[in-house]
Structure 1
Amino acid sequence: MKKHKNIVVFLIKFFATYFILVTIYNFYLQNSQQKEGGFKTASITTLVAHQTESLLEFFGYHVDALQHKKELSVKLLIENQYTARVIEGCNSISVIILFIAFIVAFSGSIKATVLFSLFGALFIYTINVVRIAFLTVLIYKYPERQEFLHNLVFPAIIYGCVFLLWVIWVNKFSNYKK
Structure 2
Amino acid sequence: MKKLLLKYKSVIKFILTFLAVYVVLSFSYKLYLDLSTGTDYYPDYVTHAVAQQTAHLLNTWGYHSQVLPHLDEPTMKLILNGKYIARVIEGCNSVSVIILFVAFILAFSGKFKVTVIYILSGSVFIYVVNLIRIVLLSIGLYHYPQHEAILHTVIFPAIIYGLVCFLWLVWVNRFSKIATNK
Q: TM-score range by the shorter chain?
A: over 0.9
Confirm or deny that 1:40 pairs with 2:42.
yes
Report the aligned-residue RMSD.
1.3
The 5 A counterparts of 1:146-161 are: 146-161=148-163
Count of aligned pairs between the two proteins: 175
Tell me the alpha carbon deviations over residues 80-136 of structure 1, each in whole angstroms, 9 at most, x when there is no partner: 100011100110000000000000000001111111011000000000000000000
Mapped partners of 2:27, 2:48: distance in 1: 21
Unaligned runs of 5+ in 1: none
The 5 A counterparts of 1:136-175 are: 136-175=138-177
Partner residue of 1:7? 11
Partner residue of 2:92? 90
Alignment partner of 2:178: what SS? coil
Between the two proteins, what is the percent identity of the paired residues?
Answer: 47
Q: How does the TM-score come out when normalised to structure 1?
A: 0.95
Partner residue of 1:115? 117
Tell me the alpha carbon deviations over residues 28-70 of structure 1, each in whole angstroms, 9 at most, x when there is no partner: 0001155xx9x93111001000000000100110001111010
- Write out the 4+ residue segments of structure 1 that deviate beyond 4 Å after TM superposition: none
Q: How does the TM-score come out when normalised to structure 2?
A: 0.93
How far off is 1:164 after superposition? 0.5
AA at the equivalent of 1:160: G
